[in-house]
Structure 1
Amino acid sequence: MKLKLLICLFVIPLCALSQDWEESYEHSISRSKNTNKPILLVFAGSDWCAPCIKLDRLLFQSQEFKEYADKNLILFKADFPRTKKNRLPLQKEQVNKQLAQKFNSKGYFPLVLLLDKDETVLGSFAYENQEAEEYISLLNSFQK
């Protein structure tokens, strides 16, 4: 009984601080309009792009970013995995391709865009070896 209580005390706070990546781009736009939060659109190759994997580990999985994103952003990842086991459903693949045509026609990976509720690009960045705080500062500068 005590063990279960201890597990709950550690697991529940971790769940509360995990940022939610939207499954639907349309829902991201809708949430952005309702909350007036910008959309962080991330183009990534989660199973082949080394800088994408580093960006995920250094930024998106950091506690600082999770707390910041929870309060300030709508998150959407347009992933382009290459391995068969990581293949996305066809509909999600098509949406990601359309987003790439619209926002990432040169095919840069990773590419992170901050969009307003009308899908206007406020700013962008790629992977650089820097701390989460520096990325957060950059995101804040896009919104001024």
Structure 2
Amino acid sequence: MRYLFVFLFSLLLSRSQAQTLAVTWNANLTQALQQAKATNKPVLAVFSGSDWCKPCIMLKQEVFDQPEFQRYAQDKFVLARFDFPRSKKNKLPAEQTKLNEEAAAQLNKEGSFPLVVLLSPEGKVLAKTGYRPGGPAAYDAYLSQLLAKR
């Protein structure tokens, strides 16, 4: 019984620590750029199809949802996510759909998915990329390389 209690307590503790790592994703490009200017950080904007685009799902699960990426991004980026689900059950509110479409009209005219766009605090496109295998460490290193080139 004692082992069960210790196990459950450690499980609860690890869950609460993982939750504190969660970073905040903006859903409004204008607000993300305002925050970027205020903090002098670049924006990492992600365009995804969360329920139909396999590479989008993989990028989210393998990189963005991982604590290692969240620790990396926390102090380096203002994060913004613009999702375009197709399933009726995942339909976004009309206001959010409009915000996503406005962001796509500015940054994703090609309709690429997934698309990751790095923006300067002033809104200048620094780089565009997508899914890359290798998990959070490889993706973090790649993003750092992209930023170093600018």
Quick check: TM above 0.5?
yes
Runs of 5+ in structure 2 lacking a partner?
Answer: 1-5
**How far apart, CA to CA, are the structure 1 residues paired with 2:99 and 2:120?**
19
- Look up the SS of the partner of 1:28 in the other structure: helix
1:14-34 alpha-carbon deviations (Å, 9 max, x no partner) = 221111111332221111111
**How far apart, CA to CA, are the structure 2 residues paired with 1:128 and 1:143?**
16
1:8-52 alpha-carbon deviations (Å, 9 max, x no partner) = 633331221111111332221111111111111001000000010
Task: Give the corresponding residue for 1:71.
Answer: 75
- Look up the SS of the partner of 2:75 in the other structure: helix
Instruction: Say how many residue pairs are matched.
Output: 144
**How far apart, CA to CA, are the structure 1 residues paired with 2:87 and 2:131?**
22
Task: Give the corresponding residue for 2:26.
Answer: 22
**How far apart, CA to CA, are the structure 1 residues paired with 2:29 and 2:120?**
13
Structure index of larger Rg:
2
Task: Give the corresponding residue for 2:141.
Answer: 137
Provide the TM-score with structure 2 as the length reference.
Answer: 0.86
Task: Give the corresponding residue for 2:3.
Answer: none
The equivalences for 1:1-144 within 5 A come to 9-144=13-148
**How far apart, CA to CA, are the structure 1 residues paired with 2:13 and 2:133?**
34
Runs of 5+ in structure 1 lacking a partner?
Answer: none
- Give the letter aligned to residue 80 of structure 1: F
